[in-house]
Amino acid sequence: MKKHNFYAGPSILSQFTVENTAKAILDFNGSGLSIMEISHRSKEFIAVNQETIGLFKELLDIPTGYSVLLLHGGASLQFAMVPLNFLNNKAAYLDTGSWASKAIKEAKLIGEVDIVASSKDKNYSYIPQGWKVPSDADYLHITTNNTIFGTEIKTDLDVPVPLVADMSSDIFSRPLDVSKYGLIYGGAQKNLAPAGVAFVIIKNDLMDKVQKTVPTMLNYKVHAENESMFNTPPCVAIYAALQTLKWYKQKGGLKVIHKENLRKADLLYSEIDRNKIFKSTIPNPDDRSIMNVCFVMEDKYKDQEDAFNSFVSSKGVVGLKGHRSVGGFRASIYNALPYESVEVLVETMQEFEKKY
Amino acid sequence: MKKHNFYAGPSILSQFTVENTAKAILDFNGSGLSIMEISHRSKEFIAVNQETIGLFKELLDIPTGYSVLLLHGGASLQFAMVPLNFLNNKAAYLDTGSWASKAIKEAKLIGEVDIVASSKDKNYSYIPQGWKVPSDADYLHITTNNTIFGTEIKTDLDVPVPLVADMSSDIFSRPLDVSKYGLIYGGAQKNLAPAGVAFVIIKNDLMDKVQKTVPTMLNYKVHAENESMFNTPPCVAIYAALQTLKWYKQKGGLKVIHKENLRKADLLYSEIDRNKIFKSTIPNPDDRSIMNVCFVMEDKYKDQEDAFNSFVSSKGVVGLKGHRSVGGFRASIYNALPYESVEVLVETMQEFEKKY
C-alpha cells in the first residue's frame, strides 16, 4: 500500500531525491565508488558542494554579499553559534514556540536577552503582533515556522537590526526577500535532505562584527573562508540536498512550489474548518502554517482520537500524531508531499465524520 | 574495472554497508518509506540507534560505567567540546601531527595547555617516547593514529590522569582496553560510516566533573541523558554505521579484523622496504600506522611521481596521493579494504620497479 508521509521531520523527500541518492550510494556518477566512500577533497565532491551552493543562491535569489554555508550540527547548534558570534550587547528574540524557546535558552547562556514578545500565554497558538525591537539589540531572532504549534510568519519582516531567522521547516516553501535578513539558518530534514546537514545564509559584513573568541568550528567566518570544507562535510546529506534543489528547479522554482503549498494548505484547512469533528488549534487564519497543520478533535469527540489514528493508518497515512505539547494531530505537508496525499487525508476525515 | 579505494577518508566501506544503506534509502525495512524520511522518534529508528550503541559496546568490550554517544560535528567539534567540558586547571596534549595540533589550538582558546611532547621537529615522523604527564592536568589528549603522517600509538597507555583519545582513523582496527580511557572520540568516515556522525565513548563519572557553563549542544551530559537524541541525529550515517558494525560482528570481531589489518600492513610495508624505488617516511617500524601507510620515492626517482600516479590509476587504484604536508603516497588500508587491493598495489609497485 502506498504510504502518505506526514512526518514532521525527518520527513518526506521527493522520489527524485530518494532514487538518485540510493543510486549514488551504490555508484557515484559511474565512478565505481559510493558517494559515501569518496574524498570530500576529490574534484567530484567539490563539484557537488559548489553546485548545491549555486542552486541555493539561484532558487532563493540570494543577493551578492551573502555566503551559503553547509554545516554539521543541525539548527540546534545554530542556537548557540548565533549568540556566540553576534551577541555582544544584548539580543532580541521573538518567542513563538518550543524551538524559539530553545534558541532563547542558548542565548541566555551567553549574554543578555530581550524577549520582544511571546505567545506562550496561549500555548503558542498565535504570532504576536505590535512588538518593537530595541534599536541597540545586536540582532532580532525569529523562528519563521513553528513546527510543533503550527504557526508561521509568512512575510519577510522589516526590522531596524540584523534579522536572524530559523527557517528549518519552511525554507524553500516560498520565495524570500533574503536582503531583509542578516542570517537565515535551518536543519535540512524538512524541505531539503536527510538530517545531518544545516544550512546558513549569512550576510558577509555580519561576520566581520564578531568581537569574541569563538571555537573554530562555531565560527561562521572560518566556514565561509573554507567554503564549508573546514572539516569533512556530511557528504551524503549534501548530495541528497543537491537532488532536492535540482528537483525544485525542474518544477519551476519557488513561485510554483509556493502555489502548490498554498493549494495543499487550503484544501486541508478548509476541511478542518468544515468538518464537525475537528478544529484547528490556530484561530487566526493569517497565523496558520502552510507546512505544519495542527488540529484536534472537538471536545465531544475527544475519546475518538485512537479510533481516528487507527482509521488513518489503515489508509496508509503515517506520522499524523500531534506533538505531545499540542496533542491531537499534525499534518506536515512539506514541499515533497503530493497533493494527492492531502486528498487522501481529507477524504479519510470526511469518511470518519460520516461514521460518527 | 574494479576500483581499489585507498582514500584517507571518506574512505572505503564494506559492500555490506554500501548495499544495505542503498536499500534502506529506497525502502527501510519494507516500510514503504526511505530511512531518510522517517522520524528519529519512530520506534523503528530508535531501534537502529540502540542496536548501533549496543554493537559499539559489544565489539569494543566497553565496561559498564561508560556511555556511547553518536553526535554531529565530526572530530573537529570534539576538539572544542573536550576542553569546554573538562579543561579547568590545565590540559596536557601530546603533539603527534596535524590533527593533534588542531586539537591543541582549540584547547588553547579555552585554557592552559601543557604540550608533553612533540614530534614536529621531524615532520611528525615518529611517536615521542619518555614524556611525562603533569599530575595536576585535567586530562591527557592523544591522537592514536595520525592519518596524514602515518604514525600510530598501537597500545593503550597507562597515564595518571583521564586519557582522552582521538581515534578517528583507527577505531575498530584492533581490540581496545577501554578501561584505560576517560574518553574516546572520532569521526565516522574511516572505519565506520560516511562523514556526518561522530562517536564518543565516555566514562560517566567524567561528565559529573564539568564546572563551567557549556552550550547545550556541546555538553556531553545532555547528550548522554538524551541517549544521543537531544536533537535530530544524522540518521542515515548512523544506519550505515550499524551495517558496518554488523559486518564486523559477522567477521568474528576485532581480533579477526586486527589480524587481517596486520597482514595487509605487513605486506605493504615489506614491499616498501624491499623495493628500491620507494621508502617509508616512518623510520621506526613500531611507529608505523597499520591504517595509513605513507611512503615516498627515493630521491633519485623523485621525478617519477607523476608516472607512478598514472601507472597506479591504470590499475584501478584511487586515492593514493600523499597529503601535501608529506608528499609522495599514502595508502589508507582501513578495515574494509580487501587484502586483494593491497596485493594489486604491491604488484604495481613491483612492475614499476622493473620498468625503471
CA distance B102 to B52: 29
For the cut 90, the answer to whether the pLDDT of residue B211 exceeds it is: no
A263 and A322 together in one domain? yes
For the cut 90, the answer to whether the pLDDT of residue A22 exceeds it is: yes
Alpha helices in A87-215 (DSSP H): 98-110, 204-207
Indicate the pLDDT class of residue B2, thresholds 50, 70 and 90: confident
Hey, what's the cell of A142? 525569529
Average pLDDT over residues B215-230: 97
Alpha helices in chain A (DSSP H): 15-26, 43-59, 74-86, 98-110, 204-207, 220-225, 235-251, 254-274, 305-314, 339-355
Quick one: pLDDT at residue B60?
Answer: 98
Average pLDDT over residues B263-286: 98
Domain of A345, CATH number, reads 3.90.1150.10
Does B128 sit behind a cis peptide bond, omega within 30 degrees of 0 on the bond before it?
no
Quick one: pLDDT at residue A58?
Answer: 98
Domain of A85, CATH number, reads 3.40.640.10
In the residue annotation, B177 being an active-site residue is answered as no
A77 and A29 together in one domain? yes
Average pLDDT of chain A, as a whole number = 97
Query: What pLDDT digit, counting tens, does each position of B35-64 carry?
Result: 999 999 999 999 999 999 999 999 999 999
B54 and B158 together in one domain? yes
Q: How close B228 comes to chain A (CA, Å)?
A: 12
Range of the domain at B271: 4-12+253-355
CA distance A183 to A170: 15
For the cut 90, the answer to whether the pLDDT of residue A137 exceeds it is: yes
B8 and B55 together in one domain? no
CA distance B7 to B194: 13
Among B224, B251, B278, give the residue marking a domain's end: B251
- Which of B34, B49, B315, B335 best tests the A interface by mutation, with the highest count of A CBs <10 A? B34
Percentage of the residues of chain A whose pLDDT score is greater than 70? 100
ipTM over 0.95? The verdict is: yes
Among A220, A251, A282, give the residue marking a domain's end: A251
Average pLDDT over residues B265-269: 98
A310 and A231 together in one domain? no
Among B190, B216, B251, give the residue marking a domain's end: B251
Indicate the pLDDT class of residue A1, thresholds 50, 70 and 90: confident
A237 and A283 together in one domain? no
Quick one: pLDDT at residue B1?
Answer: 78
B155 and B46 together in one domain? yes
Query: What pLDDT digit, counting tens, does each position of B302-313 carry?
Result: 999 999 999 999
B270 and B222 together in one domain? no
- Which of A16, A34, A243, A292 best tests the B interface by mutation, with the highest count of B CBs <10 A? A34
A296-325 residues touching B, CB cutoff 8 A: 316, 318-319
A235 and A348 together in one domain? no
Q: How close A168 comes to chain B (CA, Å)?
A: 12
Residues of B in contact with A2 (CB under 8 A): 32
Percentage of the residues of chain B whose pLDDT score is greater than 70? 100
For the cut 90, the answer to whether the pLDDT of residue A6 exceeds it is: yes
Average pLDDT over residues B158-182: 98
B199 and B277 together in one domain? no
For the cut 90, the answer to whether the pLDDT of residue A209 exceeds it is: no
- DSSP single-letter state for residue A192: T
Quick one: pLDDT at residue A239?
Answer: 98
Q: Please identify which residue in the block is written with the cell numbers 538518485.
A: A20
Q: What total number of domains does chain A contain?
A: 2
Residues of A in contact with B19 (CB under 8 A): 26
A161-200 residues touching B, CB cutoff 8 A: 187, 189, 193-197
Does A10 sit behind a cis peptide bond, omega within 30 degrees of 0 on the bond before it?
yes
A216 and A239 together in one domain? yes
For the cut 90, the answer to whether the pLDDT of residue B161 exceeds it is: yes
Quick one: pLDDT at residue A18?
Answer: 98
Hey, what's the cell of A97? 514556540
Residues of A in contact with B5 (CB under 8 A): 33, 37
For the cut 90, the answer to whether the pLDDT of residue B356 exceeds it is: no
Q: Which of B9, B22, B318 sits opposite A22 (nearest CB)?
A: B22
A178 and A258 together in one domain? no
